[in-house]
Amino acid sequence: MSALSHYLQQQQFCLVLEQIVSKRTELPPISTLAGLPCVMAFADRVHADDDPSPITLAQSVSPEQAKLLHFSGKARDVKDLQQFVEQAKQQNLHDVLLLTGDKLKQHNFGHTDPRQRTRYLESVSALMWVKAHAPEMYCGVAFNPFKYTESEEQAQYLKFEKKQRAGADFVITQLGYDLNKILKFKQFVDASAQPCPVLACVMPLTYRRAKFMVKQQVAGIEISRHLLQHLKAELQENAAWAEQRVYARAALQIWIYRHWGLAGIHVSGCQNPEQQALLEQAMAQYQTWTLEQCLMEWNRLCKIVRGDEMQPDLSAAYPQRQASVLKYQVLQVTHDWLFDSTLAQKIGRFVFQRQFWQQGLAAKSILAVEHASKHAVVGCESCGQCRLAETLYICPETCPKGLANGPCGGTRLDRCEFADRECIHSQKYRLAKQVRQQDILRYELIPAVPVEIRQTSSWVNWFNPKVIDF
Ligand code: SF4
């Protein structure tokens, strides 16, 4: 049994210390902090797209150290995941956090040739693959509870239900400072059919870090105007005192989450021993405090009076565009008749199971006809494995990351992480609600599209499924 799964299954509250490094380096091991067991987490492609592999970094730390590997789906395919899992197993590393990942630093979104577009292996599909092919791995997933419109929040929760169905062993939340959102998510998980351990991300938030995240619009991280101004005022008053309060708030978050029954904390921004010592010191101060005392102190240190101070300005929400119900209905009827009916299946198999359609001019022609008939209507990019019926006829290829199972964590008030559109999954949620099809977004687990199948006709593939690795 791996160390992390042992702690979580034994309900032993633990700290997962995230290491973000851009070059291979000596990382000092750490077994406990403030009396709590520690796991080192090796981030993947956070600093730069060519960061060293988490497996390489993990190898540089003593074998006794408990470790968690991150795997990011940025610019990756199922084959990359397969290779990653094989290497991890060889190193006796079995704990992995499966992430879709934020946008690449050097992303080529907007490239006119879909064949050269950056692809993302989404976390749900990655989890499906690992559970099917390497069940000995202990798999975590991410969740971003810091969403403030109904559509972006519900889309996140529906996707999380898919992750539960796909077999997530534990979940780690996005970094955030609106504690009510963490409590709401914890209560949701506990009430669900498949509860799993919840860890929350905590980072000692200095003014410099907060300003950077606001300025860079770091994906999915919500720093309210109130919080930013409060941190600035503290720093201007006295730098040493401000630093103490930064660590005091992080310590309070940790103990509050423990009181709420979370399984542990994913600690970011505490890589070096000096930072860890400051956190440990602050944690010792509040270790014996009750939940009420911790919450009162948190409110005092954050200057929370009304209760909505950690929320974003809701007037900045992206203008919502309603997907057409009529278009959905027409496409659904068309799909049922042409692809799902018994007659269609018989004719389709008779016609398309011939080798004739697999290559040469016939393959090119059928692909061109399919693209011409679907691109203008739904934005089809000839993925070869049409998922429209499972995505309410909103094509996943119109998401810059190509996500089919639900949103990434990067939306901000419905605005896509790439900033140029509303998140397609927010639109899809509203349509689902209107046509009462939320269960499709909750239950349909959609596998990844293998690279080899792209730019082939999904019509031919539908009636003549290729042997793919799912
Ligand atoms: S459309 Fe939604 S899921 Fe896709 S990249 Fe944008 S925010 Fe993420």
Higher pLDDT among residues 362 and 10, named by residue? 10
Q: Is 408 in the pocket of ligand 1 (CB under 6 A)?
A: yes
Domain membership of residue 76 (yes or no) is yes
302 with 368, same domain: the answer is: no
Do residues 337 and 285 share a domain?
no
User: Which ligand 1 atom lies nearest to the CA of residue 418?
Assistant: 6
197 and 218 belong to one structural domain: yes
What does the pLDDT read at residue 116? 67
Q: Does 470 fall in a domain?
A: no
Q: 109 and 198 in one domain?
A: yes
User: Across residues 159-163, what is the average pLDDT?
Assistant: 98
378 falls within a domain? yes
In this predicted structure, which of 18-27, 95-104, 379-388 has the lowest mean pLDDT?
A: 18-27
pLDDT(288) > 90: yes
CA 422 to ligand 1: nearest atom: 1
Quick check: CB of 425 below 6 Å from ligand 1? yes
Distance 460 CA to ligand 1 centre (A): 29
pLDDT for position 110: 47
Asked if residue 242 belongs to a domain, the reply is yes
Query: Which ligand 1 atom minimizes the distance to the CA of 402?
Result: 4
The answer to whether residues 284 and 363 belong to one domain is no
Please give the number of the atom of ligand 1 that sits closest to the Cα of 103.
5
* Residue to mutate, 120, 398, 403, 412, ligand 1, most ligand atoms under 8 Å from C-beta: 403
CA 407 – ligand 1 centroid, Å: 6
Residue 190 lies in a domain: yes
> Is the residue at 320 inside a domain?
no
Point out the domain boundary residue: 258, 288, 315.
Answer: 315
- Pair (293, 385) in one structural domain: no
Last residue of a domain, one of 273, 290, 315: 315
- Whether residue 300 is found in the same domain as residue 358: no
Contact criterion met (CB below 8 Å) for 204 and 270:
yes
Cα distance between residue 126 and residue 408, in whole Å:
14
Range of the domain at 171: 3-315
Kindly report, residue by residue over 294-305, the tens digit of the pLDDT. 999 999 999 999
Mean pLDDT of 224-247: 98
How many structural domains does the chain have? Answer: 2
Q: What is the CATH number of the domain that holds 294?
A: 3.20.20.220
Ligand 1 mutation pick, 424, 426, 427, 428, max ligand atoms within 8 A of CB: 424
Name the residue with the closest Cα to ligand 1, atom 8.
408
Q: Tell me if 468 is assigned to some domain.
A: no
Compute, in angstroms, the gap from residue 252 CA to the centroid of ligand 1.
33
User: Is the CB of residue 395 below 6 angstroms from any atom belonging to ligand 1?
Assistant: no
The predicted-structure confidence for 94-111, as pLDDT tens digits, reads as follows: 999 999 998 887 655 444
Residue with tokens 């299954």, as numbered in its chain: 9
Residues 248 and 390 in one domain: no
Residue to mutate (ligand 1; options 401, 413, 427; most atoms within 8 A of CB):
401
CB of 417 within 6 A of ligand 1: the answer is: yes
Q: Above 70 in pLDDT, residue 115?
A: no
Say what the pLDDT of residue 111 is: 46
pLDDT above 60 for 24: yes
pLDDT the model gives residue 105: 72
Residue 469 confidence (pLDDT):
47
Do 270 and 345 share a domain, yes or no? no
Residue 305 shares a structural domain with residue 196:
yes
Instruction: Please tell me whether residues 129 and 246 are part of one structural domain.
Output: yes
Residues 263 and 290 occupy one common structural domain: yes
Say what the pLDDT of residue 322 is.
87
Domain boundary among 268, 291, 315: 315
CA of 410 to the centre of ligand 1 (A): 7
Q: H/E/C letters for each residue in the chain?
A: CCHHHHHHHCCCCEEEEEECCCCCCCCCCCCEECCEEEEEEECCCCCCCCCCCHHHHHHCCCCCCCEEEEEECECCCHHHHHHHHHHHHHCCCCEEEEECCCCCCCCCCCCCCHHHCCCECCHHHHHHHHHHHCCCCEEEEEECCCCCCHHHHHHHHHHHHHHHHHCCCEEEEEECCCHHHHHHHHHHHHHCCCCCCEEEEECCCCHHHHHHHHHCCCCCCCCCHHHHHHHHHHHHHCHHHHHHHHHHHHHHHHHHHHHCCCCEEEECCCCCHHHHHHHHHHHHHHCCCCHHHHHHHHHHHHCCCCCCCCCCCHHHCCCCCCCCHHHHHHHHHHHHHHHHCHHHHHHHHHHHCCHHHHCHHHHHHHHHHHHHHHHHHHCCCCCCCCCHHHCCCCCHHHCCCCCCCCCCCCCECCECCCCCCECHHHHHHHHHHHCCCHHHHHHCCCCCCCHHHCCCCHHHHHHCCCCCCC
Q: Which atom of ligand 1 is nearest to the CA of 415?
A: 7
**Confidence band, pLDDT 50/70/90 cuts, at residue 228:** very high
Write the pLDDT tens digit of every residue in 165-178: 999 999 999 999 99
Whether residue 162 lies inside any domain: the answer is: yes
